Structure 1
């Protein structure tokens, strides 16, 4: 099975939330293999859990090196510089400016407000009556409202920044010119918002970043704008995808759904298992470059070679998780890589967990018998994007007569 010629990657088109079985074969026989992504230079692909953790956390692998190379990527457009293409100490400097807003304690203080938003959305769903598109009526507005309030972005502008957000995640949905145009529009929008907050500071994250910039010179103007852009996109897009992803998985695993309905106190554990089980990405992204020769599995990655990690495959590693191909909401412990690992571990992981917990419990508690309005074949899936998820998922529920 081992080969020296890079395989074309991804190995197949994204199929709903099914992970290509070839990853399991690679984990067994060729856990570090050569691949060619649609754009950029050839790379090493890591598919096992322990190897993935090394690449994501070991300082011998650099994200900043991508700025000088033809980074392996899924999109023809080269990602703009920002916190995701930094190494310590620059990465640490920027991350510390916002990390305090996302600690477990501070995020927990948001729970009543997140619950209030979720209840309001369900109230509207009930008033509208089934069937309802879970994506548009619940999954999108919940995290968008939360991140807008946290950052200080007007919710009324959501249609614009939702459209522009596609520039960060498009593989084929947008042309390179459209990506460039949307990026520029979003940058100009955020720059204008910064000036508004500069003139009238508020109790929000943008105002805190302005203070760090103007009073303490801890980041540049462009770093501040790009950081705010990244938080706005990341703060809603993945959670908005995972809420309907979780619903789809539960609807297609009725025994697990029934067990969860019978014990809603297990929602936090269920969220962790769903994060492990759902392959959110359509492939691998965010290459790291070896700064020196590194032994990885039975392969020597040479200095200057890029490595990409498939976290979904790592989350199915048989040496770490028992029966990893099965959804088990009673699975003990976490340990998944759904939020990444190492210095670039998802900054908003605690907020995402809270939103997913509130969303899942509220939907199951307030909408008895929640299920597909039609069937799994009626779900419409995103196309040409880095992340998987329904763009349309109509649901119904048992209503009181």
Structure 2
């Protein structure tokens, strides 16, 4: 995939899974980080609470100018963590304060629901969220720390109690770590995410933008087709027509020249026909019309210079959707071949009757940039069908491009 300047933390690179010891240790480390952040959140919550009664003075505004941006940074970090580990981005939706002076910006903050969600989150993160995050950490390392301290201080009663609690707490840690971390992240997402009305408005705005982009893309595609026809097939057919006309004049006076001109016209016509076939393949590959999306993607995987596993369970879909997915997968596999330095790749997906879900992955160097021209083009192509694109690409951790399009089988 295309190299990225963004570097994601390895602990946050992979969404939560069932896993074993390694997965639970990873989530425990994440939980410890959330607990540390909860202390900072509690401090910010107390400062914001103290700032509201003082808003009539300069001190209150100074506190808000300091605390509100810090709370937004902390909240955004939690949105990022929750989005990566839950596999679903969490959007803030802050009111725009661009070009506003500090006093006006403060009043915008006070009326902004997203800022109030940050305030509520700071209280949650510093109280209930902090307790939730401490549970896996305490269950894993609490008894061990007490055993070491008891041995250091020679307190054998303390040692016996800690040793007796070690086994049961490890069992508790094994069973509660995954659900409690997932529950904490879902709570963060519920508090920090957009309200239903905001999500609906954002969805409407996204549809409007995607429709506008689709119109622009279609106009550009029509101009490209017109240009290809004018410069390719049309020019060749015009040349063939001129040769036939000349041959008609020479057929009686110079038969050999007429035959040569007709032979040249035939070759030109064949070339024009090949140009038309190439143009048609670029609009809608024949393999999609003849054999469907699965066979089309299998054909795309053949020339890739590495093993590509294709595991798809897909019905026939509407031709525009199949074409969009086909070219999206083609772009992703081309990126794998050019940039990933991978030893293998895979394309997996299914359709549940309402939604198509498809993943293109590789075990290469990672670091794919979702804002790169290739992946951005894929995202725009899917957006025309209300589809989404999620890229997971930690450094040296491989890349997964997940596509989701709501569509029905035909």
Q: Which has the higher helix share?
A: 2
Largest Rg, 1 or 2: 2
Point out which structure has higher relative CO (alpha carbons under 8 A, 6+ apart): 1
- Verify same fold: TM over 0.5: no
Band the TM-score falls in, shorter-chain normalisation: under 0.3
Q: TM-score, normalised by structure 2?
A: 0.23
